[in-house]
Amino acid sequence: MDMTGQRTLQVTQQQAWEALNDPDILKACIPGCQRFEPSGDQKFAVAAGIKMGPVSAMFNGSVQLTDIVAPQSYKLNFDAQGGVAGFGKGESSVEIKPLEKGCELHYTVHSSVGGKIAQLGQRLIDGVAKNMAEDFFKRFEAELEKRYPPAEEPIPQQSAPAQTSAGVPVWMWAAGAAVALAVVVMVTR
């Protein structure tokens, strides 16, 4: 399976880098993760419960970081065994690019599975992987917001509410934009 994607994050490149290298944050963000802990030089032991269709299993494995260019990018190799359910292995690249406000995270994943889970069919496996990636990013963005809350901008003092040319107060447009941004707003490691 191959997957690529990108996410715009509302934190700096350095803040995103620190979060992507924090085992506690990753454990909280990876769906079904029971363990994510250092086990050597740039290596982590991982355990996660995964359900794909009728197959549920605890996968134990490792993640090894390579080609590290802090705070911009790294590659990782992963390998996990799920007993009779099968195995998964692969590689991923992560790149964080600074933006004027925030940063953009780009990722690619190439993985393969074998055993019982491989018999489920590629469409089911791809669907579960995409859902897990989406779940990871929702959790990751929530963790980032908890760790680095957005700064509140001071509200200028005015005697009367500002109006736009359409007659709607400026604060309503800002609130609507914030709600729209909140609605818009498988890296696994």
Q: Where are the domains of the chain?
A: 2-151
- How many of the other CB atoms lie within 10 Å of CB of 16? 25
Prediction pTM value: 0.75
Closest residue by Cα to residue 71 from 37, 94, 92, 91? 94
Residue type, position 176, single letter = G
Q: Report whether 87 contacts 114 (CB < 8 A).
A: yes
**79 phi/psi in degrees, rounded to 5:** -150, 130
Fold of 2-151: Alpha-D-Glucose-1,6-Bisphosphate; Chain A, domain 4 (3.30.530)
What the block records as the tokens of 151 is: 């700064």
pLDDT at 184: 29
> Is there a cis peptide before residue 71, judged by omega within 30 degrees of 0?
yes
Q: Tens digit of pLDDT per residue, the chain (189 long)?
A: 899 999 999 999 999 999 999 999 999 999 999 999 999 999 999 999 988 888 889 999 999 999 999 999 999 999 999 999 999 999 999 999 999 999 999 999 999 989 888 888 888 888 888 888 889 999 999 999 999 998 765 555 554 444 433 333 333 333 333 333 232 232 333
The whole-angstrom separation of Cα 143 and Cα 46 is 19
pLDDT at 51: 86
Triad 60, 27, 112: Cα angle to 5°: 45
Closest residue by Cα to residue 188 from 132, 145, 113? 132
